[in-house]
Every structure is written in C-alpha cells, then in structure tokens.
Amino acid sequence: MEPLIKYVQDKYIAKKEFPKFGSGDTLTVYYEIKEGNKTRTQHFKGVVIQVKGTGATKTFTIRKMSGDVGVERVFPINMPALQNIEVNRRGKVRRARIYYFRDLRGKKARIKDARVK
C-alpha cells in the first residue's frame, strides 16, 4: 500500500522548496490569512520544538513566547497558505523533540547556536 501512496503524493501534490531545518532552529514562517475577501501575510517567529512525518505529511511545531504566555503552532509542510520559511538561527540541541523547552523560562530557555560549516 505504501508505494501507491508515495506515487500519488509524488505525482499530484505540488511541492514547495523550503530550507532544511530541525529542532532548536529559530524560524520565521510567513503564511497567508484570508479575512472575508481580503488576504494578508502574517508571520510567526519561534523555536522549532519538533519535526514529524516525512514527505507530504511532514509537520513541524513552533513555539514562541507572547508576553508571559507560550504559544505553539503546528504547520503542515504542504499547507497551501504557507508562503515562505526563513531560518534565523541554527540551534544545537541533543534531542529531536525538545518538549522540555516548554518548562524553561528566562535565561534557561536559551539554545546554543550551532557551528556553521
């Protein structure tokens, strides 16, 4: 069954090219919002907590702090409203899913920068 699903995804789903990123990276995601008959672009800047799935079903979760409240948002990589992804910083973390990041506050919530090769 899997080869059939992969064939359909490759053939019929339009792919967008985005930069490679992983957990701990700081991203700015630009996506389109429709309000009535108007559309506008909104951005969401935060740290990637997890990247899940492969191919067309890939999703990533971004967390940002809005005042004292943590806000998380899950973006599917093939979402039609997704316009652009910018990698602002590369972070060095030792885990693929950094759920522990939710409990950290202040200086503890800093992620070290990864070396640029």
Please identify which residue in the block is written with the tokens 């008959």: 37
pLDDT at position 116 is 75
Q: What is the pTM of this model?
A: 0.84
Q: What is the CATH number of domain 2-103?
A: 2.30.30.790
Query: Distance between CA 99 and CA 27 in Å, rounded?
Result: 17
pLDDT at position 49 is 96
Domain extent listing, the chain: 2-103
pLDDT at position 1 is 65
